[in-house]
Structure 1
Amino acid sequence: MQGDSLLRRLLDRLGPARSRTLGQFLRFGVVGTIGFVVDTAVLYAGLAVGLGLYGGRVVSYLAAATTTWALNRAWTFRGQGSGPAMRQWAVFVVVNLVGFAFNYGTYAALVAGVPFVAQHPVIGVAAGALAGMVGNFVLSRRFVFGGSHAGGS
């Protein structure tokens, strides 16, 4: 197939290290999409129980961060990083606070400044997720799952 040939040529031009990084980034994006679904579902559940747009978002972010850490550990960066799982989770959450700042800041600005987004907060969640994704990938790859150490607990 022509598409396979084109992909193969692209990967050959990138070389093995960049191809591996591209694969990780694409898996990170898939995991992020799952995290987005968790984030949105928990936000709407939080709204239903009265947490409000901002408190609900903090809870939904923590739920999504835990989900994405687990999936990134098991799939995106399998076999990378080391140390106890709880320590790695804590480092993931701390390192991803940079992405959270972009994520939550984008969300809060849109909810506060765009009435349509306040009525449909999923738009703010999506915009925030995109704003934080690249920074989260770079920081997670380097500080949480850095190196090519085997395992972790």
Structure 2
Amino acid sequence: MTDLASLLPGRFGHLVRQLGAFGGVGVIGLLVDMAVVWLCLRGAGLNPYAARAVSFLVAATTTWVLNRAFTFRGARPEAAHRQWAKFLAANAVGGAVNYGVYAALVSGVGFFAAVPEAAVAVGSLAGLGFNFTASRTLVFRGA
């Protein structure tokens, strides 16, 4: 079976494959994030804010490892600790983009005020776009 990316020309097909892999890794990161929050709340008795801080670090580290190994495996070599720190910073900024888009839509657009779940989806897409671009150009250069 032929995938869509193989039908696209050269670099564009490569970009589509990377974006798909990045999105798949993101889904795994989301599942890890949710599981760690649950464990921190139920198992360790942490408050929701501390649980979220722990889950972000675990999920971001998981996605960094998977993106390094699969999505951007052709990137120029870089010290792991430096690349990990850049990935965490990029994802933190991407999280702020996600929340900013969500907040702007909910506060400024009637439809999204009535259906904030839709604003979550738009914010997530904005965050995904930012994180993919930052990861590709700043963290995993040359992939």
The C-alpha deviation readout for 1:45-76, integer Å capped at 9, x for no partner, is 12112322222111111100000000000000
Offset at residue 33 of structure 1 (A): 0.7
The gaps in structure 1 that reach 5 residues or longer are: 111-122, 149-153
Q: How many residues align?
A: 128
* Alignment counterpart, residue 142 of structure 2, candidates 140, 144, 147: 147
Offset at residue 15 of structure 1 (A): 1.2
Q: Comparing both chains, which one has the higher relative contact order based on Cα–Cα distances under 8 Å and sequence gaps of 6 or more? A: 1
Q: Which residue of 1 aligns with 2:51?
A: 56
Q: Which residue of 1 aligns with 2:94?
A: 99
Runs of 4+ with >6 A deviation: none
Q: What does 1:83-98 correspond to in 2, within 5 Å?
A: 83-98=78-93
Are the structure 2 counterparts of residues 71 and 23 from structure 1 closer, same or farther at C-alpha, using a change threshold of 3 Å?
same
Q: Which residue of 2 aligns with 1:74?
A: 69
The gaps in structure 2 that reach 5 residues or longer are: 107-116
Distance across 2 between alignment mates of 1:54 and 1:25: 30
Q: What does 1:129-144 correspond to in 2, within 5 Å?
A: 130-144=125-139
Contact 2:76 2:142 in 1 (8 A): yes
CA-based RMSD of the aligned residues comes to 2.9
Q: Report whether the alignment pairs 1:45 with 2:45.
A: no
Are the structure 2 counterparts of residues 130 and 35 from structure 1 closer, same or farther at C-alpha, using a change threshold of 3 Å?
farther
Secondary structure, counterpart of 1:86 in structure 2? helix
Contact 2:41 2:47 in 1 (8 A): yes
Offset at residue 36 of structure 1 (A): 0.5
Offset at residue 97 of structure 1 (A): 1.6
Distance across 1 between alignment mates of 2:53 and 2:126: 16
Distance across 1 between alignment mates of 2:48 and 2:20: 30
Q: What amino acid does structure 2 have at the position aligned with 1:141?
A: R
Are the structure 2 counterparts of residues 63 and 76 from structure 1 closer, same or farther at C-alpha, using a change threshold of 3 Å?
same
Secondary structure, counterpart of 2:9 in structure 1? helix
Output the TM-score relative to the length of structure 2.
Answer: 0.75
The C-alpha deviation readout for 1:10-61, integer Å capped at 9, x for no partner, is 744x311010000000000110011011000001112112322222111111
